[in-house]
Amino acid sequence: MPKQVDYESRRRRIAEAVCLLADEHGPEGVSMRDVAARAQVSLGAVQRCFRSKEEMLLFAVDHVGGRITQRVRNRVAASPAQSAATALGHAADEIALLREEHRAEARIWLAFVAQAAVSEPLTGPLRTSYAALQDLLTRLIAEATESVPADEDAAPLDPQREARALLALADGLTTHVLVGHLTAEGAEEVLHAHLVGLWERLGTARPGKAV
């Protein structure tokens, strides 16, 4: 058998190039040729890695989704183990992608989401990532709920519903920052206020530091 190449690492490299270009020129604005140039491979190499452009985009969205999810998980794991509420704050903050260094990732994500709303096969990886994040948030909220000494009379708090709200809020805030309707600071303030409200409903005292 002749030559052997590591397709997996090349695919990842190409996915990175896709992300860079999607950040600059939008989702449909990335061409196979530009991707090849960015990844420093030939057009033919890209074609051998992916049978079609759609397959390439699908891999790329999965790649970036996995990266974001993993970073959130890492942040949660690095949080103080005894305080699920603090971890929750960190997770939400990480999901919102508000910091300047993640602006590119946010643009990429938005680009793929918009594409998926119309292209259908792209919804798969996207849903996977959203489901993973929602599950993580749900778990953290449930954990924080249990940690509060005892249930009072009121507050029928549904962890899954709260997780969905938090995820949607973070996503919406990110979008509004991207189009310039909000500043990153304004969005962060809104997110923070929502978390404070959530903690109050949990009956948990507000953790000392939440960003």
| Whole-angstrom distance, CA of residue 27 vs CA of residue 107 | 9
| Whole-angstrom distance, CA of residue 108 vs CA of residue 125 | 14
Q: What are the residues binding its own copies (CB under 8 A)?
A: 23-29, 107, 110-111, 113-119, 123, 126-127, 130-131, 134, 158, 161, 164-165, 167-173, 175-176, 178-182, 186-187, 189-190, 193-194, 197, 201
The amino acid that residue 193 corresponds to is A
Buried b (16+ CB within 10 A) or exposed e, 151-173: eeeeeebebeebbeebbebbbeb
User: Residue 30: which of DNA, its own copies, none does it interact with, CB under 5 to 8 A by kind?
Assistant: DNA
Q: Report the residue from 20, 41, 113, 210 that binds DNA according to the rule CB under 7 A.
A: 41
Q: Which stretch binds DNA (CB under 7 A): 48-56, 59-67, 173-181, 187-195?
A: 48-56
- When asked if residue 121 is in the footprint of DNA (CB under 7 A), the reply is no
| Whole-angstrom distance, CA of residue 122 vs CA of residue 114 | 10
45 versus 114: smaller Cβ distance to its own copies: 114
CB of 9 to DNA, least distance (A): 11
42 neighbors 57 (Cβ within 8 angstroms)? no
**Contact residues: DNA, CB under 7 A:** 1-5, 30-34, 41-45, 47-48, 52-54
